[in-house]
Structures are given as C-alpha cells and as structure tokens.
Structure 1
Amino acid sequence: MASQFAILAIVALVALPSVSLATQWTVGDDNGWTIYYNYTDWAKDKVFRVGDSLLFNYQAGYHNVFKVNLTDFQACNIPPAYEALATGHDVIPLMTPGVKWYICGIGQHCANFNQKLRITVVDNTEGPALPPAAPTPSDSRAK
C-alpha cells in the first residue's frame, strides 16, 4: 500500500509541471478595447494558448468586437451587425490553435484608428513557447 502511494506521488510530481492554467488576457490591459492603441505591440510578447481566453473591455455602444478572417481584417470589412459581440465585457475562449483576427465594427475605428487585433494561438501540447513569428508582408499591410 505504501509503495502504491509512493508511485502515485512520484507520478503526480512528474506530471505537475506540465499542467498549465488557462490565462484570461485582458486585451489592451488597463487601456481596454479602444481607438488610438497599438494592439500589435500589446500582443507581440504574449503566448496565447488553447484554453486561454480574451477579455475585451470597453464601454458598450462605443465599440464592439467581430472575429474575422485575414481578408476582412486587412480591409476592415465589417461583418453583419448580428455577429457583433457588444456587451462591453466580451470573453472569447481560444479553443483551437492558429491565427485569429478581431476588429471593431463601429464607424471607422478599424480602418482609421487601428482598432484591430491579430494573435497566434498555440496548442497546449506543443513544447516550450517560441517567440512570436515575425510579421508576414500581409500582416505589415494590416497595421
């Protein structure tokens, strides 16, 4: 019985470092989701993982959040209004790895005020996090 407990304790200690807690990232930190803020700089040193979430804080009615594809991100194409998240405290779970794009659909906030966010989500099963990849030519046009 004691040896079973010892084996279980060893297994738990070995597995413990590989367990990671999900992070809820507040987009823009204290600035929130707003105009005149550089979300590229905000995201560049962060490692977003599957299971994490994004929290978009803003004053409802003044901003909103749309999850878009690369083409819509680059052109600031606004999806139909019914697709908007608009509570002012929107949480988006990051459920799959890959590149994700978000924009504000109010007025010209995306096109004229750069209210847009591009992140890369990595799988939790991947090894140690690598620094974010350098922007691609298409990403640099989207800034």
Structure 2
Amino acid sequence: MLQNANCYEFKVGGSGDWSVPMDANANNYNQWAERSRFQIGDTLSFSYSADKDSVLLVNKADFDNCNTASPIEKYSDGQSVVKFNHSGAYFFISGVHDNCVKNEKLHLVVMADRSHNNQTASSPPPSPSVDEVPPSPAPSGEEAPSPPSDSGETNQTPAPSQESSPPKNGASSTVMSFVGSAAALVGSSILLGF
C-alpha cells in the first residue's frame, strides 16, 4: 500500500496479483478487503497477464452470478489501476468466467472522503437563536388580540407559550446538581449546628 497525500494506492489482495486463489473455496480477496479501509480518492491496482485475464467492474447481481457479459468497466492492460470516485460498494470479477467461479472476485466498500473535499451535501444552517425567531402571525381571517387595557380591573395570567423552551445542556444540569448539593450541605450544617 502506497500513500500519496491523503490517498492510498492499494494492491489487490495485498500483493497486487489478480489470479485464481490457491484454494478456490476461499474468499481471499474479500477477506483482504475486510481488513482494509478504502476511501474516496484511493486507488486499487491489479497486476495480471493481459493475454489470459482481465478485471471487470460489475453490479452485485453480475458479481453473484459471475456474469461477464455486461460490465460497468473493463480493464485489460495487465496493470490496471482503479480510482474510487464515490463511496459505496464496488464489485470486481475476473473477465474469465471460469476464474470468477473459482473466486477470482472482490467485493469492497469505499468509505467517505477523508479530506471532505468531495462533499455533495452541505450541512444544514444552524438553528436561529430564540431572539431571532419572528413571532407567528395570527391565522388568516382572525385578528391578533388587542393588548390589555390599563384600567387594572382584570389581572390575567398570560397563556403558556406554545413554543418549547430550548433544551438544557449537560453543563447546566451538572452545575445545577452541584449547586443543589452544596445548598443541601450548607442547609444541613446550619440545622444540625456543625
């Protein structure tokens, strides 16, 4: 594995050799991929005999069935390098059907971009503070209630706000817990005369 800036070049299977595994029942390439962490911008190199094999990038159904008829991409130069341009699953099989059946195939998952240069969705803007939230308008067809008169005849209690108060953070809970404990200690000391 070679590192270039924040990207890595992986050699398929660790050695780069793309061939039928010694044990055709083993999933050597998939086991290797499970131990590796692929990111957007990384590359994967395949080394093989161009006159005897190739590498196909396929969908999951073609991977499962070793279907070589309709690849997404075909690499056949003997020294193929694939760059991961998006996160998600990648499926590679041998261009030789019999080799694929003997587990010359690879499924790997590419994680998100480690440099965050390829973000497609921006984060949502921060929520406005309580001071910035404009008051709700009165429903259409209704008038806003008039302010109470200054006569002082009635002392109405304002209706509770329909908006919930902002959630308290952990720091304020901790401070309140500490203050409450300290007050209990001082209060019990005064009562017990210590």
TM range, smaller chain: 0.5 to 0.7
> Which stretch has the larger CA shift, 87-96 or 22-31?
22-31
Which residue among 4, 8, 13 is the counterpart of 1:28? 13
Partner Cα distance (1:125, 1:54) in 2: 17
Partners in 2 of 1:80 and 1:69 — Cα distance? 9
- 8 Å contact kept, 1:25–1:54: yes
Match for 2:57 among 42, 67, 85?
67
Q: Tell me the CA shift for residue 125 of structure 1.
A: 4.6
Hey, what does 1:57 align to over in structure 2? 47
1:74, distance to aligned residue in structure 2 (A): 0.2
Question: Aligned partners of 2:14, 2:41: CA distance in 1, in Å?
Answer: 19
Cα distance between partner residues in 2 of 1:103 and 1:114: 8
- Aligned-residue offset at 1:122: 0.6
Identity of aligned residues (%): 30
Counterpart CA distance in 2 for 1:110 and 1:23 is 26
Deviation string for 1:48-92 (max 9, x for gaps)? Answer: 0000011011111121001000000000001358x5211110011
Cα distance in 2 for partners of 1:124, 1:80 equals: 29
Q: Which amino acid aligns with 1:30?
A: S
For 1:15-46, what per-residue CA distance to the aligned partner results, in whole angstroms no more than 9, with x for missing partners? xxxxx621011102226100025101111110
Relative to its length, the structure with more helix (as a share) is 1
When normalised by structure 1's length, the TM-score is 0.68
Question: Is residue 121 from structure 1 mapped to residue 110 from structure 2 by the alignment?
Answer: yes
Aligned length: 107
1:4-43 correspondence to structure 2 within 5 Å: 21-30=6-15, 32-36=17-21, 38-43=28-33
Q: SS in structure 2 opposite 1:28?
A: helix
In 1, Cα distance between the equivalents of 2:95 and 2:111?
27
Q: TM-score, normalised by structure 2?
A: 0.51
Question: CA–CA distance in 2 between the matches of 1:70 and 1:34?
Answer: 20
Which 5+ residue runs of structure 2 have no aligned equivalent?
Answer: 23-27, 117-194
1:90 equivalent in structure 2: 80
- Read off the aligned partner of 1:74 and give its amino acid letter: D
RMSD: 2.3
Query: Following TM superposition, by how much is the alpha carbon of 1:107 offset from its aligned partner in structure 2, in angstroms?
Result: 4.1
Larger Rg: 2
Secondary structure of the residue aligned to 1:90 is strand
Q: Distance in 1 between matches of 2:8 and 2:51?
A: 27
On the 8 A contact 1:66/1:79 being kept in 2, the answer is: no
